Amino acid sequence: MRTRVIFLAVLAILWGERGFLWGQAPVVSHFETAKTISVQEKKYIFLYFQLQDCSLCRDFYKQIWQKEEFQKWAQEDLVLFSLDFSEVHPFSLGPEEQKQKEEGEKLRQLHKVEKFPTLILEDDEGKVFFRRSPPFSLGEVHQELIDVVQKKRLWDKIKKSLTSENKQFDILWNSCLGNYSLLQGQMAPHYFLFTSKIEKKLEAAYVAYRFSLPENQEQYLLFLKENIALDPDHFYEKIFCSTYQKKSFHLMQLLFRFRETKGSKKVLQETAHRLLIDLEKDNCSHFAVAGWHTYFLSRAICFYALEEDQKFQEAWQRLILIYPEWKQKERWQEFFEMD
If asked whether residues 223 and 236 sit together in one domain, one would say no
Last residue of a domain, one of 191, 208, 227: 227
Whether 5 is covered by a domain: the verdict is no
What rounded mean pLDDT belongs to the chain? Answer: 76
**CATH number of the domain within which 310 lies:** 1.25.40
Residue 175 pLDDT > 60? yes
If asked whether residues 303 and 278 sit together in one domain, one would say yes
**CATH number of the domain within which 123 lies:** 3.40.30.10
Whether 254 is covered by a domain: the verdict is yes
For 291-326, how does the pLDDT look when each residue is reduced to its tens digit (9 = 90+)?
566 677 777 877 877 788 888 888 888 888 877 777
For 23-69, how does the pLDDT look when each residue is reduced to its tens digit (9 = 90+)?
467 899 899 999 999 999 999 999 999 998 899 999 999 999 999 99
If asked whether residues 251 and 211 sit together in one domain, one would say no
The contacts of residue 27 (CB under 8 Å, 6+ apart) are: 18, 19, 20, 80, 81, 82
The whole-model pTM stands at 0.65
If asked whether residues 125 and 194 sit together in one domain, one would say no
Last residue of a domain, one of 89, 121, 136: 136
pLDDT band, residue 19 (cuts 50/70/90):
very low
Residue 93 or residue 127, greater confidence: 127
If asked whether residues 196 and 289 sit together in one domain, one would say no
If asked whether residues 76 and 27 sit together in one domain, one would say yes
Whether 148 is covered by a domain: the verdict is no
Residue 5 pLDDT > 60? no
**Residue 82 near residue 4 (C-beta atoms within 8 A):** no
Residue 4 pLDDT > 70? no
Parent domain of 250:
228-339
Whether 167 is covered by a domain: the verdict is yes
Residue 22 pLDDT > 50? no
Q: Stretch 102-120: mean pLDDT, rounded? A: 92
Whether 313 is covered by a domain: the verdict is yes
Supply the angle between the helices 68-77 and 138-159 in degrees, to the nearest 10: 20
If asked whether residues 277 and 223 sit together in one domain, one would say no
Distance CA 298, CA 10 (A): 59
* Bridge partners of residue 46, in order along the sequence: 80, 121
If asked whether residues 182 and 112 sit together in one domain, one would say no
For 73-82, how does the pLDDT look when each residue is reduced to its tens digit (9 = 90+)?
999 999 999 9
Specify the pLDDT at position 218: 83
**Residue 173 near residue 200 (C-beta atoms within 8 A):** yes
Whether 36 is covered by a domain: the verdict is yes
Q: What's the 3-state SS for the chain?
A: CHHHHHHHHHHHHHHHHHCCCCCCCCECCCHHHHHHHHHHHCCEEEEEEECCCCHHHHHHHHHHHCCHHHHHHHHHHEEEEEEECCCCCHHHCCHHHHHHHHHHHHHHHHCCCCCCCEEEEECCCCCEEEEECCCCCHHHHHHHHHHHHHHHHHHHHHHCCCCCCHHHHHHHHHHHCCCCHHHHHHHHHHHHHHCCCHHHHHHHHHHHHHHCCHHHCHHHHHHHHHHCCCCHHHHHHHHCCCCHHHHHHHHHHHHHHHHHCCCCHHHHHHHHHHHHHHHHHCCCHHHHHHCHHHHHHHHHHHHHHCCCHHHHHHHHHHHHHHCHHHHCHHHHHHHHCCC
Highest-confidence range of 5-14, 31-40, 182-191, by mean pLDDT?
A: 31-40
Last residue of a domain, one of 178, 194, 227: 227
If asked whether residues 216 and 239 sit together in one domain, one would say no
Q: Stretch 206-215: mean pLDDT, rounded? A: 78
b or e along 185-194 (b: 16 or more beta carbons within 10 Å of the residue's beta carbon)?
bbbbbbbbeb
If asked whether residues 252 and 289 sit together in one domain, one would say yes
For 112-156, how does the pLDDT look when each residue is reduced to its tens digit (9 = 90+)?
898 999 999 999 999 999 999 888 888 889 999 999 999 999 999
Whether 152 is covered by a domain: the verdict is no
Specify the pLDDT at position 181: 75
Specify the pLDDT at position 15: 37
For 235-258, how does the pLDDT look when each residue is reduced to its tens digit (9 = 90+)?
444 444 434 455 555 556 656 665
Whether 156 is covered by a domain: the verdict is no
Residue 259 or residue 171, greater confidence: 171
If asked whether residues 19 and 132 sit together in one domain, one would say yes
If asked whether residues 265 and 275 sit together in one domain, one would say yes
Number of domains, the chain: 3
